[in-house]
């Protein structure tokens, strides 16, 4: 606000007729303009003197206040040289008095306003930092709605070795490599899971999924004669609805292969070939062909010789699928995305 806007409001300020925002803007202007502050002080003094001399409430208008002051004290009040000099200096130094459009709008700076600004700034900063971190540690080529879907994807810790080498999940261990034992440090991948991936699509072969396993998959509880749990597992889809699945020895008898509709499945992602002798508790697709009905899937782990999968507890129904694994978020040296 500039002087031409403030001066007509000085009477209302003295009478307490301004609202909160008007009073805040006028007060802020008075702090920076000595001329207007002096004029406001004169108005306040005239009103106070008129009230004291007359013994009544001060009149509302400036003209009434001046008339009351003159009637009570005929001698004119001496003009303030400071007020005149302040007005001259203000007019010379502040060109906004002659250009109303040049005066900026005064933004209030109340304590509540500052707290609100701080909170909004922190929220925006946190969201920006989260987006940048997830894009950097994940898929740097995400665009548009993919960023939104990926930002709010679920994350899971890989607990076991069943999906190695695709997904790592083991403690410190010693492995035989290149003719001698090698100590491998513990690593557990943190994976991203898109829970919306199958909202308008169907699972495809070779997709890595997270699902709620049926109670029969909880082999430990069953062995201890305890009520089985519905654990969350991570496996790869091998068989689709309508497929005929069979796990049987290869023609040379050195290993087991997965046959789909009578043809062996090429699996470059597995850790090692399946043992030719399957465990006796592996009863599904290992003792004859298994035909998948609509909504049924056959899932296996990439570490075939150390995986609790559909060979042991049967088919997986689509309603149990929680989402599709879209990538590895942690550790940094293993971060990658899956198609």
> The CATH number of the domain where 179 resides is what?
2.10.109.10
Most confidently modeled range among 99-113, 171-185, 254-268: 254-268
Quickly list DSSP for 108-172. P--HHHHHHHHHHHHHHHHHHHHHHHHHHHS-TT--THHHHHHHT-EEEE--SSTTTTTS-EE-S
Band of the pLDDT at 23, cuts 50, 70, 90?
confident
Q: Verify whether residue 250 is a known catalytic residue.
A: no
- Domain of residue 116 covers 109-152
Q: Let me know whether 124 and 17 are in one domain.
A: no
Q: Would you say residue 161 has pLDDT above 50?
A: yes
Catalytic residue chosen out of the listed positions 235, 307, 310, 324: 235
Number of domains in the chain: 3
At 81 the pLDDT is 47
Catalytic residue chosen out of the listed positions 96, 99, 153, 162: 162
3-class DSSP assignment, residue 11: helix
Is the separation of the CB atoms in 323 and 210 below 8 Å?
yes
Is the separation of the CB atoms in 49 and 72 below 8 Å?
yes
Is the separation of the CB atoms in 17 and 41 below 8 Å?
no
Q: Verify whether residue 162 is a known catalytic residue.
A: yes
Mean per-residue pLDDT, 306-317:
93
Q: Would you say residue 56 has pLDDT above 70?
A: no
Reported pTM: 0.57
Q: Let me know whether 79 and 118 are in one domain.
A: no
Q: Would you say residue 98 has pLDDT above 70?
A: no
Q: Let me know whether 265 and 173 are in one domain.
A: yes
Q: In which order are the strands placed within the sheet that holds 290-291?
A: 263-264, 256-260, 244-249, 290-291
Q: Let me know whether 124 and 192 are in one domain.
A: no
Q: Which of 39, 338, 48, 91 is nearest to 207 (CA)?
A: 338
Q: Let me know whether 278 and 185 are in one domain.
A: yes
And the tokens for 104?
A: 């900026």
Q: Let me know whether 113 and 163 are in one domain.
A: no
Tokens 């040379």: give the residue: 252
Q: Let me know whether 228 and 318 are in one domain.
A: yes
Q: Let me know whether 8 and 135 are in one domain.
A: no
Between 149 and 93, name the one with better pLDDT: 149
At 150 the pLDDT is 52
């Amino acid at each position: 606000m500039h002087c031409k806007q403030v001066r007509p409001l000085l009477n209302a300020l003295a009478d307490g007729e301004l609202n909160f925002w008007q009073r805040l803007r006028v007060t802020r202007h008075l702090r920076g303009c000595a001329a207007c502050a002096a004029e406001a002080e004169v108005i306040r003094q005239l009103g106070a003197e008129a009230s004291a001399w007359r013994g009544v409430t001060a009149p509302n208008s400036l003209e009434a206040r001046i008339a009351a002051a003159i009637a009570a004290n005929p001698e004119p009040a001496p003009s303030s040289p400071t007020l005149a000099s302040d007005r001259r200096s203000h007019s010379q130094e502040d060109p906004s008095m002659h250009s109303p459009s040049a005066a900026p709008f005064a933004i209030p700076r109340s304590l509540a306003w500052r707290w609100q600004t701080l909170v909004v700034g922190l929220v925006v900063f946190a969201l920006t930092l989260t987006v940048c971190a997830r894009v950097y540690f994940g898929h740097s080529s995400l665009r548009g709605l993919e960023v939104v879907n990926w930002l709010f994807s679920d994350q899971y810790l890989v607990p076991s070795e069943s999906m190695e080498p695709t997904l790592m999940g083991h403690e410190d261990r010693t492995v035989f490599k290149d003719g001698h034992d090698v100590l491998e440090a513990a690593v557990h991948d943190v994976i991203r899971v898109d829970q919306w991936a199958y909202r308008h699509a169907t699972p495809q072969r070779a997709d890595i999924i997270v699902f709620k396993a049926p109670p029969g998959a909880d082999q430990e509880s069953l062995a201890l004669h305890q009520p089985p749990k519905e654990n969350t597992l991570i496996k790869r889809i091998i068989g689709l609805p309508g497929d005929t699945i069979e796990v049987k020895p290869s023609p040379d008898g050195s290993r087991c292969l997965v046959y789909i509709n009578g043809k062996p499945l090429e699996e470059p992602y597995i850790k090692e070939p399946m043992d030719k002798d399957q465990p006796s508790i592996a009863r599904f697709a290992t003792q004859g062909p298994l035909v998948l009905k609509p909504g049924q899937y056959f899932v296996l782990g990439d570490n075939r010789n150390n995986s609790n999968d559909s060979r042991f507890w049967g088919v997986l129904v689509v309603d149990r699928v929680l989402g599709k694994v879209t990538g590895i978020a942690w550790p940094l040296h293993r971060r990658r995305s899956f198609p």
